[in-house]
Amino acid sequence: MPENSLTPGEPFDQFSVASVYAEMLARAPENQMQPRLEPVRMAMDVLGNPERSAPAIHITGTNGKTSTARMIEAGLLAHDLRTGRYGSPHMGSVTERISIDGVPVSDETFVRIWDEIRPYIGMVDEKLTAEGEAPLTLFECLTVLAFAVFADEPVDVMVLEVGLGGAWDATNVVEGQVQVVTPISLDHTEMLGDSEHDIALEKAGIIKPGGFLISAAQVPEAADVLLEAAREADVPFRFEGVEFGVESRLPGVGGQQVTVQGIAGRYPELLLALHGAHQAENFALAVAALEALIGGGEQELNMENLQLACEHITSPGRLETLRTGPAIIADAAHNPAGLEASALALKESFGLDKLVLVVGILQEKDVRAMMTTLYEQYEDLVSEICFTQSVSPRAVPAEELVSMAADAGFREEDLHTTERLDEAIDWAVARVDEDGATVSGGVLITGSITLVGEARTLLGAEDDRLRKDS
């Protein structure tokens, strides 16, 4: 029996989620993507191909993947379909990555399924080692575990978010019935390429025969790549702004009212409890994906079901208000395009006349470009910035961020640093209160998903869950 394996009758708390995740963390980290699929295919084969246990909606792109996945999940649940959603990274517990019917998989199931597949993971590792290759990585193991959980439940539809890229991502062992591409922009350029064209080539790897491509509006260089891939695979394709899109939207308290023209129907005046044009566009993408799966792109969705889905759509860490008086807002934007979209939405929806930023960024990001975007978007609103760092070993030291912020145009006297996020939040709140802006001012925590995850934990954000029966 494998080391640390459960024995019959042993309570699950003796073999916890934490111990399973610690075991996975000892492997190659998920930001060290291996350009390979064969090891995951090997694992799928020995497990009886759980990736084929249900139809899949496969999602890639640069920004908006998680929000779009959650919207699709809510839509499927509203149509009384049992869902399994896999995404990354997590902000709290690793179990958030694998959701059943909108709820993070239970600790017991997470541990039990891992214990069941662990010997097979070991077999694959042994074969890889014998062939001179690295054992399964952290992300590969989590992906294998997700497929095994979905087969065990079982689910009616899998909603799979690519971890990085597309062609060589571990999730790409699946044959997606619907293949969704969110907006493509520059990110992870050291691994995916330094142009939208090159990045699109990697992401187009999920487009396969038998699928149905649903794409957000793209820059021409990326759109051309996706169109060519769709034609080569002989799959139908629909692009936002051509065959479907947001017809109108009206920002309001707590979100926006959106009218969407889908690929099979028109859906007027839906209430979406998320902020910003980018979230309305994500929603239009999700609606088109639902139409493609449920009716082959030819059947209009039930309007009541779609409104029910809207009532349950949330996106933790995406312009999420964690506290009021003053407002403390968390946003997981972690590249220039994401920062720009969030800034536009914040200015449109929150009505703040003073903003203090708390910023932390990871090393693999284009930090200088992110600083330029922050300066261009917030120069007229931000009074001061506190640079900090998450506990991730990949976090850029706060002092280095200050130097790059000054180069981008921020005044050095407006910049502050602390290595601890709790101290950064306290400082930022004090700066808002000091100027008497408790009601009209706010704090924005942004720059990385890990930083926002820690902020949500510090400020006691509730677990976000969808419920089919509510």
pLDDT in tens, 256-283: 999 999 999 999 999 999 999 999 999 9
Q: What is the pTM of this model?
A: 0.91
Fold of 320-458: Protein-Tyrosine Phosphatase; Chain A (3.90.190)
What is the CA angle 248-204-221, rounded to 5? 65
Report pLDDT for 6: 42
**CA-to-CA dists, residue 411 to 263, 347, 381, 405, angstroms:** 48, 22, 14, 8
Question: Is it the case that residue 11 has pLDDT exceeding 50?
Answer: no
Question: Is it the case that residue 129 has pLDDT exceeding 90?
Answer: yes
Asked if the bond preceding 89 is cis, omega within 30° of 0, the reply is: yes
Using alpha carbons, select from 329, 373, 350, 280 the residue that is nearest to residue 64: 280
CA atoms within 13 A on the CB side of 272: 35
Question: Is it the case that residue 175 has pLDDT exceeding 50?
Answer: yes
**What's the rounded mean pLDDT across residues 450-469?**
74
Alpha-carbon distance of 340 to 349, in angstroms, equals 14
Report pLDDT for 275: 94
Confidence at 169, pLDDT banded by 50, 70, 90: very high
Q: Using one digit for the tens of pLDDT, what is the confidence trace for 378-428?
A: 988 998 999 999 988 889 999 999 999 999 999 999 999 999 999 999 999
Confidence at 434, pLDDT banded by 50, 70, 90: confident
Using alpha carbons, select from 93, 73, 97, 252 the residue that is nearest to residue 171: 97
Is residue 89 helix, strand or coil? coil
Report pLDDT for 165: 82
Confidence at 461, pLDDT banded by 50, 70, 90: confident
Identical fold at 12-312 and 320-458? Answer: no
Is residue 295 helix, strand or coil? helix
Q: Using one digit for the tens of pLDDT, what is the confidence trace for 56-83?
A: 999 999 899 999 999 999 999 999 999 9
Query: Do residues 134 and 128 make contact, with C-beta atoms less than 8 angstroms apart?
Result: yes
**Best-predicted range by mean pLDDT among 188-192, 209-213, 407-411, 412-416?**
209-213
Report pLDDT for 437: 59
Angle between helices 196-203 and 220-233 (to 10 degrees): 30
CATH level 2 (architecture), domain 12-312 = 3-Layer(aba) Sandwich (3.40)
User: What's the whole-number average pLDDT of the chain?
Assistant: 90
Query: Do residues 223 and 188 make contact, with C-beta atoms less than 8 angstroms apart?
Result: no
Report pLDDT for 92: 85
Asked if the bond preceding 183 is cis, omega within 30° of 0, the reply is: no
Question: Is it the case that residue 10 has pLDDT exceeding 90?
Answer: no
DSSP per residue, 160-202? EE-SSSSTTSGGGGS--SEEEE----S-SHHHH-SSHHHHHHH
Amino acid found at 413: E
Report pLDDT for 408: 92
Residues with Cβ within 8 Å of residue 262, at least 6 apart in sequence: 244, 284, 287, 288, 291, 300, 301
Report pLDDT for 7: 42
Query: Do residues 288 and 182 make contact, with C-beta atoms less than 8 angstroms apart?
Result: no
Alpha-carbon distance of 415 to 411, in angstroms, equals 7
Using alpha carbons, select from 362, 335, 358, 333 the residue that is nearest to residue 345: 333
Question: Is it the case that residue 139 has pLDDT exceeding 70?
Answer: yes
Question: Is it the case that residue 466 has pLDDT exceeding 70?
Answer: no
Region of poorest pLDDT, from 40-54, 175-189, 215-229: 175-189
Alpha-carbon distance of 166 to 180, in angstroms, equals 11
Q: What are the domain boundaries of the chain?
A: 12-312, 320-458
**What's the rounded mean pLDDT across residues 16-26?**
94
